[in-house]
Amino acid sequence: MSELYTLPDGWEWIEFSKVFDTPSSKPYQIQKTEYLESGLLPIIDQGKEFIIGYTNSIEKKYLNESNCIIFGDHTRQIKYVDFDFVIGADRTKILKEKDKNKYDLKFLYFQFLSKKIESLGYSRHFKLVKEMFFAIPSLEEQKRIVAKLDNLFAKIDKAIALHQKNIDEANVFMASVLNDVFVEFEEKYEKIPLFDVAYVNRGKSKHRPRNDKKLFGGNYPFIQTGDVRNANKYIDTFNETYSEFGLSQSKLWKKATICMTIAANIGDVAILKIDSCFPDSVVGIYSENNSNDFLYYFLLTLKQQLESQATTTAQMNINLKVLQTIGVPLPPLKTQQKVVSYLDEISQKIEKIKQIQKEKMQSLKALKASILDQAFKGEL
């Protein structure tokens, strides 16, 4: 728990249990297999997406007459909900203010956002929340602060959305460039099955449980789907390493191998800059006789197609049979290399534009954090 600082006159520190009620979420919960793409009621869980799906199970409806806060016990996600909904996962906590005459729920939500909750990995964090204290002024002052934060954040969020739109437009432009290149190649060159063009196989991580500590902490980079998604063409950073034991139940793929995600986030692609291991949620693709950079750009064009062919159980996934149906319009190697140089040049320019936009967004998010910090010290 962070240190309690000196509050302005008229404010007091009040412990979590005296501020919040925590009604059970179990009566309002449905299973992931029951999610729909559209329906009568939105589904809210502890993930980053505000609404994860929909349902017609009105008997599970949480009648949200006076709003609530959602807290993700595993993810630490915090959401302010002002409509009826259904709960979509275990460990999704519902928080309500104990006394409407003393606490403004949105004031508590904003203060909740300002607090730094230590990550315990994929563990439960609500025990940390229950140790918190909240800085509480009069109800009138709470409402004044909320009105000011709503106004300021609306302006900041509008600016963030504009920068995100610029990033989205840059991505659309790059996708159109790739589409133009490979549509032209499809008209000129025979499509060769991907499995004839390159070695294709799933990664390996046989040991269970997957989070066994003896698997980790060695010298062998262990690449996961998030590392592929977050890479900018090349994977040269990683969050986990395998030990000798970890390597013994996996496989070390050589650098220049293309990694494609086939579970959770489908069809993300990046190229290894370092020899690495990865699990079976990632496919390795490597050609000895063709440009792997050319194949990388071709595979980027397949994301929507692969997502449409994915099956959904606990999460979206595809199998190798789907990849067997892919044909690559394959020009001579010199043409491949020439196209890669062209696409690299465009991609690098677009990435610079995107990076500028991301930095501006980050600055705006930091401004929001600074404003929140001021608000709960009575300085707003």
- Write out the DSSP string of 115-152: S-PPP-SSS--HHHHTT-EEEE--HHHHHHHHHHHHHH
Residue 330 reports pLDDT greater than 90? yes
Is 185 a residue whose pLDDT tops 50? Answer: yes
Identify residue 148 by its one-letter amino acid code. Answer: K
Write down the pLDDT at residue 141.
97
Counting every residue, how long is the chain? 380
Tell me the pLDDT tens digit for each residue of 67-114: 999 999 999 999 999 999 999 977 899 999 999 999 999 999 999 999
CA distances from residue 4 to 1, 13, 377 in whole angstroms, order as listed:
9, 8, 11
The predicted pLDDT at position 315 comes to 59
Work out the pLDDT band at 318, boundaries 50, 70, 90. confident
Q: Which residue has the higher pLDDT, 66 or 125?
A: 125
* Cα dihedral 185→186→187→190 (10° resolution): 100
CA dist 203 and 223 (Å) reads: 10
Q: What confidence tens digit (pLDDT) does each residue in 196-219 have? A: 999 999 999 999 998 899 999 999
CA angle in degrees (0–180, nearest 5) for 122-128-133: 155
